Amino acid sequence: MSSGTRPPDGDVAHRRRKRRPLRGLLQSNVFLTIVSYSIHGVLTFIHWTNRFVPASDDFVKKSEGMRPGIFAMWHGQQYLIPYHRPKSEPVAALVSRSQDAEINARILELNGVKTVRGSGGRPSYFQNQKGGAQALRGLIRAIRDGYNITIIADISKSTPRQASEGIVMLAKLSGRPIFPIALATSNHYVFKKTWDKTTINLPFGRGCLKIGDPVYVPRNSSEEELQEFRKILTEEMNRVTSQAYEAVGVRE
């Protein structure tokens, strides 16, 4: 067959049939369970083998009298944060409904975190696409039940480290403060070619958890004011992220 010639339909169908068993295996409950438990075990080990420096903030003291709160983190920086929370604090997390996020959801649940599935960054947050409206109701319900919320503040595959509309709208509707949060370890590996510079924490180093000043979004905020709160939140999150890295003696 010459270059650029389309393969016969039968060949395409044959290749698709060959891929189906592998796809089925990767999506099977057994495979997802094994991978989730394995990653959970690795993350637990990494957490316990990092020595957290005195500059780390105390979750309970920093948010005293202001919980339940909305704890915001950046994409690619979030993997160890659930392992640092006080086990007595109820926490719920927003996780994408996509199949790719199923392992993330299971790892969070193994760590005692309740998951709310949906998309919270784009305007679809308030529409039925991607379960946005359902996610919004689920998060507000969790807050009313006393759960702290953890949520990724920037939008996947969009501009990194830019707080989304969804998180400030959640704060407006729920009346709860947003706490910027960041965790850094001195030993880590950065995937520099990923859109969010995904950072994998490594064991046997120093760690630091930083929690920024709360950002309150009044219920009567206009659209223009919401955009201003996005900027404020973005600046505060970048500030605490830099602080966390500086505290463990490395540059981000």
Residue-wise pLDDT tens digits, 54-105: 999 999 999 999 999 999 999 999 999 999 988 899 999 999 877 778 999 9
Residue 18 — very low, low, confident or very high, per pLDDT cuts 50/70/90?
low
Q: Per-residue pLDDT for 250 more than 70?
A: yes
What is the four-CA torsion angle of 170, 171, 177, 181, rounded to 10 degrees? 50
pLDDT at 5 over 60: no
- Name the percent of the chain lying above pLDDT 90: 71
CA-CA distance, 226 to 167, in Å (whole number)?
A: 10
pLDDT digits over 26-45, tens only? Answer: 678 889 999 999 999 999 99
Supply the mean pLDDT for the chain. Answer: 87
* Confidence check: pLDDT of 155 > 90: no
pLDDT band for 144, please (50, 70, 90 cuts). very high
pTM of the model: 0.85
Q: Distance between CA 44 and CA 63 in Å, rounded?
A: 24
* Structural domains for the chain: 26-247 (3.40.1130)
- Out of 8-22, 127-141, 226-240, pick the least confident: 8-22
Predicted pLDDT at 4? 55
Q: What is the 3-state secondary structure (H, E, C) of the chain?
A: CCCCCCCCHHHHHHHHHHHHHHHHHHCCHHHHHHHHHHHHHHHHHHHHCCEECCCCCCHHHHCCCCCCCEEEECCCCCCCHHHHCCCCCCEEEEECCCHHHHHHHHHHHHCCCEEEECCCCCHHHHCCHHHHHHHHHHHHHHHHCCCEEEEECCCCCCCCCCCCHHHHHHHHHHCCCEEEEEEEECCEEECCCCCCCCEEECCCCEEEEEECCCECCCCCCCHHHHHHHHHHHHHHHHHHHHHHHHHCCCCC
Whose structure tokens read 């993330």? 104
Nearest alpha carbon to residue 175 among 219, 143, 238? 219
What is the per-residue pLDDT for 162? 93
Residues of the chain above pLDDT 70, percent: 84
Q: What is the pLDDT of residue 21?
A: 64
Residue 232: pLDDT band by 50, 70, 90 thresholds?
Answer: very high
Name residue, tokens 């400030």: 168
pLDDT at 46: 98
pLDDT band of residue 128 (cuts 50, 70, 90) is very low
